[in-house]
Structure 1
């Protein structure tokens, strides 16, 4: 592999921590950092997305993974993150490599300005040959505000830096057509359309927060962003370069079709719903055809407390998500405009504008290969009927 590449590597808790003793597996960590150091010296830019802080901190608070609640896990993350980073720093120094810690929340990844700030920080670290190690800030993230798993976080990071490759190391060789423990299970070495395999399995390891399903969701997000994904077993000796040199088998998720613009890729890969609009069937069809934006008279109902510039999810009356787009108005302004259709906009919100709630150029029409999010059922705010 002579061409310089930008590579995102994701490591799960089950590879880093002993499931019984909840201690670091230093043999794996040494093999990993040795391999990454060689790749970095070859000129590749690498980001490591690493789990493990919660698993390592559980011992300190006297809890087992199966008994830990959300507050236990938050406290464990606060205890375990320094242990994890100190171990990475010590092992990396043996291979003349510097590391940096970056902790993020779902808000950092979903809000455009913070998303770009994180990207710029990573690119600056690349300039100094420093390995960024990124993890979700589990000590402050609640259930509703979490990315949810580092598989999808790694896909967001790969999208962020326009990576060439996302490598997800796990406890199995790759994807099978069914549970690999079942007789006759067939290994899948190459995938063209990841969306066809999203329901392969829902199994979850004892220490991790995701199973093969979240890995396929991550691969789907990466594929939509033009990033190839590899899912492979996290072996001790040369876990990354052995894959890059095709020395063992793994599952490769290819990039097919045309990649969207960076803005529309960002719109497509959402991890939570911050605000929604429901529109009539006729409007939904026009939006799906890419012929119009969404005006105040198109809205049946809205949900969420959002600000100008946030991403709204657009649903038809049957609850099917059809599009996502950047709103030109806050939730309060949108509500007022939709409830007062007979009053000029400037009289309703206090300033003159001809903008749609979502402009046509800021809309991403969703296709079959995108991950759709269910419409929220709670706290729906009904406005004037169309």
Structure 2
């Protein structure tokens, strides 16, 4: 969200600044942490260029730059200051100023990040906080970069697999809409005066074409409604959650989606455990990044682990592991390398999902092409069949 604040600077001048923030409370924290006095704050709405002007804070780039500076021997305060100066356009100056003020007041980096929850995820803050006690902040940042890279890799593969089918569906929808709302009504005018009981192929063309010509407002309103419903299904969080739950119930697809979620679960747990976070704390933190179905099962598993049950047994009973995962968890418990075993489980699941995505893409794309081609072919056949009937009648 984009906010506009009127502030009084140290030089007693009144200025207006615009910045991005996750909430009004965080926006106030941004301004007050910058060493100025907040006079008024309002959220900007309805700007046509709001999306372009308010690019979200790129945590991946921030991590890469921060790691490079720390690896070069820069202190944390100096590194944050350099990153703030590097923000030439000043879009995220409030974030860097808030971090710098908190650090200069004697707070740890994790405490400074915890004050900006919409910028720094809870998992990231917990990882940094654990590494501060051992002096391995730089190593933890590098570990989180690797975690992001692996998660983004699977996400990119999913997006790449979905891109071509979505293009096919979009083009197919446009072509079919053009035929139904432009071509068919004009063909129906030609057949209107020559139809006969023997020419049944004209039925749909005349019926639909006449409806569009005589009730164009209703027809186009229906098309707009279809587009609106599809857009709502894609972007509405509640509907997307319901669709996700429904997909999990589909025999083959649901199993693959579940494996994908398991990979994210074990990779997150592995990263937190490797950073020094306790098992129970890691399980509780990981809940926030999971779907509702998996979140409830992980919560049940955390309670069982707190009661002293073995994690390998608990994860199996809560249906949060497969046979391979259970074997690796048993090995991790016996050797004390639970974080390493969880990373291996995540890698195994990621490979399995990647192979399934490639196989599914090779099947879905031709099926969509054939399906769209058949629909377009049927419509074109209904348009030209009456012409053939008229030619035979003559």
Flag the structure with larger Rg: 2
The answer to which structure has the higher strand fraction is 1
TM-score exceeds 0.5? no
TM-score, structure 2 as length reference: 0.26
TM-score after normalising by structure 1 = 0.27
